Amino acid sequence: MLKVMAEVCFISENEGGMTKDVFSGLMASFNVNGELIMCKINLGEEVEKEVIPKGEKHIVNIELPYGEVYKDLILPNYVFNLNVGIRVIAKGIVLEVGHEAEK
């Protein structure tokens, strides 16, 4: 499993993002050069189900169970989108690889 710390901004509903609240523990897809791979987004050490406000930048931990396949691409400063289906719900940038964010 590949773990990254990233800065993400979840897109508001008006901009095409999710219509429901975004929660820590969300399972989404991480877009790697057009390929969508499963991931789990956590807001630091906080308890799952904490609401992550849209339209603001957040430091999050992203767990990528199949991310090792892409470890040569997913490096610091890698810019990515998070998707639910074909809908882009967030934009982000990788800050660190292999570390979890600390609060």
* Fold classified for 2-97: Elongation Factor Tu (Ef-tu); domain 3 (2.40.30)
**Percent with pLDDT over 70 in the chain:** 89
Mean pLDDT (whole number) for 67-83: 95
Q: Can you say whether the dihedral through the CA atoms of 64, 2, 54, 93 is positive or negative?
A: negative
Instruction: Give residue 56's pLDDT.
Output: 93
Take residue 37 and report the two structure tokens written for it: 């791979």
User: Tens digits of per-residue pLDDT, 17-35?
Assistant: 888 889 999 999 999 999 9
| 21 Cβ neighbours under 8 A, 6+ residues apart | 51, 52
Q: What is the pTM of this model?
A: 0.87
Task: Give the chain's largest Cα–Cα span.
Answer: 35
List pLDDT tens digits, range 34-71.
999 999 999 866 556 788 899 999 999 999 998 899 99
- Whether 99 shows a pLDDT value over 70: the answer reads no
- At 59, the amino acid letter reads I
